[in-house]
């Protein structure tokens, strides 16, 4: 069984504050269960790399903070990781230090392009939001959002009134590049119709959320503190027929795991 922890959950574990005592105990209790894995992914490494952008920390403090996070991720995951593959997401073993080194080589270029794309998408959302926005979406369970006729009609419009594009979005092919295309577009669609949208200043955070949703789709459980992200993930995984349970921190703490 694989349980994918969002980066914010790992940060809470590292911080080890009084209010996160139960979380720390829960994660520690899972570390020696041979049938259970807590994978990390390049998405975690990209978030760790963001530390370099901080203007509040000295170079030494940045380095110490990065090393602390990578060591903690190594401890939690036993170096078990998800990587993009030519086909599906692949499971492998690699230290976070090795993965981090590879990720930061092209970090400024790749994240710069991705962030610019996200900023453009946010601007587009604000321009056309009223055209797509649907009222009372929160009346639906996340798993039922795409069953709404209003949402179905808006999705068709989002896909240029081309039913073949809609069907391609629903295709259950789990090849990495196709999964990326589907989840990225479905997140953008949910933002457009007003379903737990992020604010413009969080374009980078939105980019990382999408990456985590993609990699987490390989796991049995996805744990996140981010309420907006959880609801969008639940809706999208259901639409794509991906068998995964999305949990908040408390649900994870209370999860009964057989040893």
How does pLDDT run along the chain (259 residues), one tens digit per residue?
Answer: 999 999 999 999 999 899 999 999 999 999 989 899 999 999 999 999 887 766 677 777 878 889 999 999 999 999 999 998 888 899 999 999 999 998 887 665 455 445 545 455 555 554 545 667 788 888 889 999 999 999 999 999 888 888 888 888 887 677 888 888 899 889 989 988 888 887 654 555 677 889 999 999 999 999 999 999 999 999 999 999 999 999 999 999 999 887 7
For residues 210 and 6, the answer to whether their CB atoms sit within 8 Å is: no
Q: How far is the C-alpha of 34 from the C-alpha of 137, rounded, in Å?
A: 42
Whether the CB-CB separation of 96 and 70 falls below 8 Å is answered with yes
Q: What does the pLDDT read at residue 70?
A: 95
Output the CA–CA distances (angstroms, integers) from residue 102 to 68, 105, 107, in the order listed: 18, 6, 9
Beta bridge partners of 5: 223
Beta-sheet pairing, 80-83 with 90-93: antiparallel
3-class DSSP state of 37: strand
Q: Residue 144: its pLDDT value, please?
A: 92
Helices (H), the chain: 7-15, 21-30, 42-49, 59-77, 96-105, 107-132, 149-158, 163-170, 176-192, 203-216, 227-239, 249-253
Structure confidence at residue 159 (pLDDT): 85
> What local confidence, expressed as pLDDT, does residue 234 receive?
97
pLDDT of residue 124: 54
Question: What local confidence, expressed as pLDDT, does residue 107 receive?
Answer: 63
Which residues have CB under 8 Å from 141's CB, separation 6+? Answer: none
Give DSSP secondary structure letters for 70-101.
HHHHHHHHTTEEEE--SSS-EEEE--HHHHHH
How remote is the C-alpha of 78 from its chain's centroid?
20
What order of strands is seen across the sheet that includes strand 221-223?
3-5, 221-223, 245-247
Using CA atoms, how far residue 7 sits from 11, 144, 208, 211, 222, in Å, is: 6, 27, 9, 11, 11
For residue 153, give both structure tokens: 């009609």
In this structure, what DSSP letter does residue 145 have?
G
2 SS3 class: strand
């Amino acid at each position: 069984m694989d349980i994918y922890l969002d980066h914010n959950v790992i940060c809470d574990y590292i911080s080890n504050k009084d209010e996160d005592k139960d979380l720390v105990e829960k994660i520690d209790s899972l570390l020696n269960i041979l049938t259970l894995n807590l994978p990390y992914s390049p998405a975690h490494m990209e978030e760790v790399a963001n530390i370099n952008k901080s203007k509040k920390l000295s170079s030494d403090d940045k380095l110490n903070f990065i090393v602390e996070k990578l060591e903690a991720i190594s401890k939690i995951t036993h170096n078990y990781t998800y990587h993009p593959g030519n086909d599906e997401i692949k499971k492998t073993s690699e230290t976070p230090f090795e993965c981090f080194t590879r990720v930061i080589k092209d970090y400024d270029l790749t994240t710069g392009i991705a962030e610019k794309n996200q900023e453009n998408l946010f601007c587009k959302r604000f321009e056309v939001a009223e055209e797509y926005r649907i009222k009372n979406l929160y009346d639906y369970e996340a798993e039922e959002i795409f069953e709404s006729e209003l949402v179905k009609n808006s999705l068709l419009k989002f896909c240029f009134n081309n039913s073949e594009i809609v069907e391609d979005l629903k295709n259950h092919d789990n090849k990495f590049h196709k999964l990326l295309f589907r989840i990225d577009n479905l997140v953008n669609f949910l933002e457009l119709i007003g379903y737990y949208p992020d604010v413009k200043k969080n374009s980078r955070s939105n980019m990382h959320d999408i990456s985590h949703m993609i990699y987490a789709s390989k796991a049995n459980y996805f744990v996140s503190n981010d309420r907006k992200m959880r609801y969008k993930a639940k809706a999208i995984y259901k639409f794509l027929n991906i068998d995964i349970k999305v949990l908040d921190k408390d649900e994870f703490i209370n999860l009964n795991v057989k040893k």
